[in-house]
Structure 1
Amino acid sequence: MSLNRRQFTQGLAAIATTGTASLASAADVIKVGYVSPQTGALASFGETDKWVIEQMKNAFKDGLSVGGKKYEVQVLLKDSQSNPNRAGEVANDLILKDKVALLLTAGTPETANPVSDAAELNEVPCISSVVPWQPWFFGRKGNPETGFDWTYHFFWGLEDVISTFTNGWKSVETNKKVGALFPNDGDGNAWGDKNLGFPKPLAQMGFGLTDPGRFQSGTQDFSAQIAAFKRDGVEIVTGVIIPPDAKTFLTQARQQGFRPKVVSLGKALMHPLAIEALGDLGEGLTTEVWWSPSHPFSSSLTGQSSRALADAYEASTKKQWTQPLAFSHALFEVMADVLKRSKSLKPRDVRDAVAATQLKTVVGVISWNGKGPFRNVSKTPLVLGQWTKGKRFKYELAIVNNESAKAIPTSGALQLM
């Protein structure tokens, strides 16, 4: 198969964490592969990964015991470059050249899906996150009757973001006319799907939807979408777009006199740097919140609360916390828990330990025990956030609706732009 022939190394050198390789034979080392977008249009999803891997050096400094034997842990980080083909290539390098015992991956379908596919094809256990479960499962042609054998996923789903966004929209006065920005990619096609995505539930709730059709990410002209929204009197804009597209759309909307009352965008607005780059266009934008320092969860690996994890990151990097931080951390929580429970480093033993996971993490409970929509999917909670003028940073993310996850506290109410 073509994937199996891609056995050459490209791009980032592997980053090894924990211990000194010269002190251990190859047989005494566990290699864990991690693939995420370190560069490219989706790099904000991987910005915290190197910091988390550095944090893991201390967590794994004494190694891990698997089946009664102590091993050094090495984490090999590869850059997908925000490109699906590249993601598949580096995943195969990790599997075929580096002989990793377990693959971890995160950061939109463009990275997580091809990595998961490579793991499934080569029968290597893989844990993924930071993709709504429908684009991950159905985007990979998953069969609801059988699921996957080697790949497991934790994150929220489209039903959660639909519920979260509409709960917020219902709390303010609008004409319930919604304009959609759904690009021609894994997320956009899932969000715009007539049965799985936004159209059907919005119609059932009495929202009108204007969907001008798919467009390519990186487009420089949103005039057609803006004209359609103005024509239909749209007061709410939603969608799932990359940060550069959000800036292009919002700038052109302002220039062309289109001022919606609510803008709720997935993917583009979760990162503080993306909001800062918008200047005064950033204030009042709303987004899904997968995790925040106020989430009432703690790490099973380090014992840090959500607040402590965010504080440690900010103190060390001098940067504002960002949502992928906790999910990168949680991937390592699950990895450590899985390996400690595995009978051996044989792929099937590791895979069986993944499937048996029941763990309280910094992003909530992760379990593949049949309570999710499919046996390969574990869901995490979701709430609505709004960017407001900050005290410590230029903009800060306030949680403004928690109807879908009451355990997560709010810090305000949704305000019209």
Structure 2
Amino acid sequence: MQDGTATGSRPNRRQFLRAVRAAGVAAFAGGAATACAPGPRTADAAAGRDDVIRIGYVSPETGPLAPYGEADRFVVDVMAEFFAANPVHVGGRPHRVEILRRDSQSDSNRAGDVAAGLVLDDGIHLMLVSATSDTANAVSDQCEAAGLPCVATATPWQSWFYGRGGRPQAPFAWTYLFSWGLEDTQAVYADMWDQVATNRTAGALWPNDTDGLAWGNPGAGFPPAVAQRGYTIVDPGNYVGGTQDFSAQIAAFRAGAAEVLLGVPSPADFATFWRQAGQQGYRPRLATIGRGIHFPATVEGIGAAAVNLATEVGWSPNHPFTSSLTGQSAADLATEYRDTSGRQWSQPIGFAHALFEVAAAAFGAVGSADDRRGIADAIAGMRLDTVVGPLDFTAGPVRGVAKTPLVGGQWRPGTTSPYELVVVSNARHPEIPAAGAVEALSAA
């Protein structure tokens, strides 16, 4: 396994990608395309021994989105060890696997640049990318332009598909995603909201990024969905990520008597907002926050004020699913992470692991690791039971997307950790057990 980040800019890379992207508009229109020439080949491949699979992996390990990448080193190390003992068979031949991990630094431009390096300089056969549209979209765009198969996860499919200019009648040819959608988050939040008595007024905390724009979309985001359920939204407008002053938003929520809080801020932004909300006397009865409170470290940093904060849950140790690669249950995987790192599980662990399940299945379906079109087609037609649940890339909602189950949870004081994320809403997925009921936030 190779580890590290690209250093410096490479001459003519961006010029090359612009040319590829321009050519790709014609080559990939309508989803019908032939594979572009593969990247640099190793000495083994040049000598006719095509027995190496090179997989690129991009996620934010540093920067404001670093909690999403916190467990990636663990997952990549475990997968590298697994593949060393269990080579992937391609065309009947065992192939060793090289995983090249890169840090997007929570910056979409950086994500695109390191993706370009993996495609052009490192000659990877497949790209994997995780953790919000800030990273997934830029990496997916580079792969689409270069004609390289790519699998993304852990971002709502609308942010990934429409945020990149996708259209159902002209889907992407090389890039794929498994995750949940806004419709799933809306259903989970609605179920939790309806279990707490409020004045049915929600304050909207939308960042000015791809996820915030998708969630706050007046035509297809949360506003029409919650209006149908009799809720009113107080929307002070999208804020700039990284802001240190949320006084305007807090004042709007207080003036509008918003007893529900709704939003998709980054972990750092939500911690800042929630601290200032407490200082300025704003305390909703229920807060459902996407992205910002997925992680134990964020919640521990907030402290007691985090009890009963609610969020969507895409993976947990209680999910009744098993890895198609290692045979581990979700609980086994969470335990291994705790025993190895000394830290509490977090949701991205399951999704990062499942990326490698999809990768192994795709390579196992083709005769050559250099068959880009074959790999892409294998993903497009894949049905696979994974540690995050059953994936069906043939089912939609749009070509190239497989849905994953979603439930709702709240943070509660823990027994083995300071705070634990407890599933409290499973109406749409009763196969995922609930461990508690929805509770209102405390008044102080």
Q: What is the TM-score with the length of structure 1 in the denominator?
A: 0.94
CA-CA distance at 1:101 after TM superposition: 0.5
| Equivalent residue number for residue 68 of structure 2 | 45
Task: Determine the C-alpha separation between the residues in 2 that align with 1:57 and 1:376.
Answer: 26
Asked whether 1:353 is paired with 2:364, we answer no
Give the structure 1 partner of residue 77 of structure 2: 54
Mapped pair 1:145 → 2:169: yes
Query: What amino acid does structure 2 have at the position aligned with 1:355?
Result: A
Match of 1:388 in 2: 412
- Native 8 Å contact 2:80 2:99 kept in 1: no
Choose which of 366, 376, 379 in structure 1 pairs with 2:400. 376
Match of residue 363 from structure 1:
388
Is 1:244 aligned with 2:273? Answer: no
Q: Tell me, yes or no, if structure 1 residue 103 matches structure 2 residue 114.
A: no
Alignment partners' CA distance in 2, 1:29 and 1:203? 53
* Structure 2 CA distance for aligned equivalents of residues 4 and 330 of structure 1: 34
1:3-39 residue CA offsets vs partner (Å, 9 max, x unmatched): 35479xxxxxxxxxxxxx9999774211000010011
CA RMSD of aligned residues (A): 1.7
- Kindly indicate whether the alpha-carbon contact (under 8 Å) linking 1:133 and 1:155 is maintained by their aligned counterparts in 2: yes
Name the CA shift for 1:309/1:95 in 2 (closer, same or farther; >3 Å). Answer: same
Distance in 2 (CA, whole Å) between partners of 1:57 and 1:143 is 36
Q: In 2, are the aligned partners of 1:3 and 1:118 still within 8 Å (CA)?
A: no
- Matches of 1:2 and 1:213, distance apart in 2: 37
CA shift for structure 1 position 248: 1.1
Q: Does 1:170 align with 2:198?
A: no
Contact 2:91 2:368 (8 Å CA) reproduced: yes
- In the alignment, which of 333, 342, 348 is matched to residue 318 of structure 1? 342
User: How do 1:1-400 residues align onto structure 2 when only pairs under 5 Å count?
Assistant: 3=14, 5=16, 27-61=50-84, 62-345=86-369, 346-369=371-394, 371-400=395-424
Once the two structures are TM-superposed, the CA of residue 351 in structure 1 deviates from its matched residue by 1.1
Deviation at 1:267, TM superposition (A): 0.4
Q: Which residue of the partner structure matches residue 18 of structure 1?
A: none
Give the residue type in structure 2 aligned to 1:41: P
Contact in 1 for aligned 2:17/2:146 (Cα 8 Å):
no
Matched AA of 1:336:
A
Report the residue type matching 1:145 in the other structure: Q
Q: Which stretch has the larger CA shift, 56-65 or 44-53?
A: 56-65
Post-superposition Cα deviations, 1:217-259, rounded to whole Å, max 9, x if no partner, equal 1111111111111111110001000111111111111111111
SS at 1:153 equivalent: strand
- The separation in 2 between residues aligned to 1:142 and 1:416, in whole angstroms, is 39
CA contact (8 A) 2:393 2:399 kept: yes
3-state SS of the aligned residue for 2:431? coil
Residues 368, 378 of structure 1: 8 Å contact kept:
yes
| CA–CA distance in structure 2, aligned partners of residues 250 and 227 of structure 1 | 13
In terms of mean alpha carbon deviation, does 201-210 or 56-65 score higher? Answer: 56-65
Report if the CA contact (8 A) 1:400-1:410 is conserved: yes
Query: Which ranges in structure 2 are unaligned for 5 or more consecutive residues?
Result: 1-11, 19-41
- 1:137-168 CA-to-partner distances (Å, cap 9, x unmatched) read 00000011121100010000000101101110
Q: Which deviations, in whole Å up to 9, do the C-alpha atoms of 1:160-198 show, x marking residues without a partner?
A: 101101110001111111000001000000000011110
Structure 1 stretches of 4+ moved >2 Å? 1-7, 21-28
| Partner SS, residue 127 of structure 2 | strand
SS at match of 2:55: strand
Q: CA deviation at 1:57?
A: 2.5
Counterpart residue type for residue 84 of structure 1: S
Per the TM alignment, residue 59 of structure 1 is displaced from its structure 2 partner at its CA by 1.9
Q: Distance in 2 between matches of 1:348 and 1:3?
A: 24
The AA in structure 2 aligned to 1:102 is L
**For the Cα contact (< 8 Å) 1:343–1:350, is it kept in 2?**
no
Aligned amino acid, residue 14 of structure 2: L
Percent identity of paired positions between Structure 1 and Structure 2: 46
Contact 2:143 2:149 in 1 (8 A): yes
CA offsets per residue over residues 271-296 of structure 1, 9 Å max, x none? 00000010122111111101110001
Residues in 1 aligned to 2:73 and 2:197: alpha-carbon distance in whole angstroms: 43
Residue 404 of structure 1 deviates from its aligned partner by: 2.1
Give the match's secondary structure for 1:76: strand
Q: Is the 8 A contact 1:385 1:398 kept in 2?
A: yes
* TM-score scaled by length of structure 2: 0.88
